[in-house]
Amino acid sequence: MTYIIELKVTVELDRTEGKFASREEVVESLTEWLENANQASIYGIGADGESTYEVINWDVEEVERPKSSRHTRKSRVPPVDLRPARGATGR
């Protein structure tokens, strides 16, 4: 039996040092890293812990994000007041 499984990997990055890299450079680097992470098999799984699956194909593909304004604010959840109400006791 052959399974075809598609996973979406979301990567969030913060630059910690060095100069700015373009989005294309980052995507290329991540794609290369993921392609090189290819394993020949997955083993030690299943009800008996002894099942082995051979990886017969591995494909990494960029998912285009919809264009959005760079200055769009994220919606914020209003803060919740966790202080006890007036007159309430801590019992």
4-48: per-residue pLDDT in tens? 888 888 888 899 999 999 989 998 998 888 888 867 888 899 999
> Is there a contact between 71 and 48 (Cβ–Cβ < 8 Å)?
no
The pair of structure tokens assigned to 47 is 């009800």
Q: Is the confidence at residue 55, as pLDDT, over 70?
A: yes
**Is 72 part of a structural domain of the chain?**
no
Q: Which helix (H) or strand (E) holds 88?
A: none
Domain that holds residue 43: 23-54
Taking the CA atoms of 32, 55, 6 and 9 in sequence, report the sign of the dihedral they define: negative
What average pLDDT does the chain have?
A: 78
Tally of domains within the chain = 1
Residue 73: inside a domain, yes or no? no
Q: Is residue 31, in this structure, part of any structural domain at all?
A: yes
Tell me whether residue 67 is in a domain. no
Residue 89, pLDDT above cutoff 60:
no
pLDDT at residue number 5? 84
In a domain, 81, yes or no: no
- Start-to-end CA span in the chain (Å): 61
